[in-house]
Chains A and B, each alone.
Chain A
């Protein structure tokens, strides 16, 4: 049969090419294999063209995928390098190392003197409750407290003592301190309510 011979001839002539990964994966698709068979059975120009076109599209798609994959990979590396370089060149002043040759982790920002850098620093420097009052209503209410009540509020809210510790400080009972605390809060609350009403 001439068809079979064509088939054989084609496979012998192109044995090495048929080992190629691209050709193999192309022919693995049934549609393409049938196209090739059609060409070998009936090598008309239309059939040849059809196969040619199909392969061209297949190959182009492979090429694009391969190309773009490596593009993404290398572009990421490039981008990262570029960014690192920029960050090194235009380092924020205070992030730079303390000494130029110094590669230790001490940055300029770590050695800058500052009065109030953090919240904690700020509250550490506050001595009494009165300093933290911002509302004039609260200030007026606070002024009406006795000095002992003020002191207890300072110790509780500014210095963070608990009732037992304050009691030891004044050599009084914790219940008494607790009462002073409660009365102070009540007084403030009442003066707020009076203000409103």
Chain B
């Protein structure tokens, strides 16, 4: 549909990309998954997951191909 809404405007979902907050949203899930690896590797894994999250959230926000309400309705 229309590209009225720039990426900039959509960023406010996570205002100013407050990474602390975004990461803490997923902390529970991360902790749950950390228990699946040996204790020695947990810190490494946590760091890598967080890096990946930042990378992916950034790219998802930049893509901006989310359908709007009307678009979504007509798609189905």
Which of the residues B36, B52, B69 comes within 8 Å of A71, measured between beta carbons? B52
Which of the residues B10, B33, B44 comes within 8 Å of A57, measured between beta carbons? B10
How far is it, in angstroms, between the C-alpha of A61 and the C-alpha of B14 when the chains are bound?
A: 9
How far is it, in angstroms, between the C-alpha of A22 and the C-alpha of B13 when the chains are bound?
A: 17
Q: How many A-B residue pairs have CB under 8 A?
A: 89
- Say yes or no: B52 contacts A20, CB within 8 Å: no
Known: A59-B66, A76-B37, A76-B49. A17 touches B73 (CB 8 A): yes
How far is it, in angstroms, between the C-alpha of A65 and the C-alpha of B56 when the chains are bound?
A: 11
In the complex, how many residues of chain B place their beta carbon closer than 8 angstroms to a beta carbon of chain A?
35
How far is it, in angstroms, between the C-alpha of A61 and the C-alpha of B61 when the chains are bound?
A: 10
Q: Which residues of A contact B8 (CB under 8 A)?
A: none
Chain A nearest Cβ from B64, distance in angstroms: 8
Chain B nearest Cβ from A124, distance in angstroms: 33
Q: Which residues of B contact A17 (CB under 8 A)?
A: 72-73, 76
Nearest B residue to A26, CB-CB: B69
- Say yes or no: A83 contacts B41, CB within 8 Å: yes
Nearest A residue to B48, CB-CB: A79
Within 8 A of A (CB), among B48-76: 48-49, 52-53, 56-57, 60-61, 66-73, 76
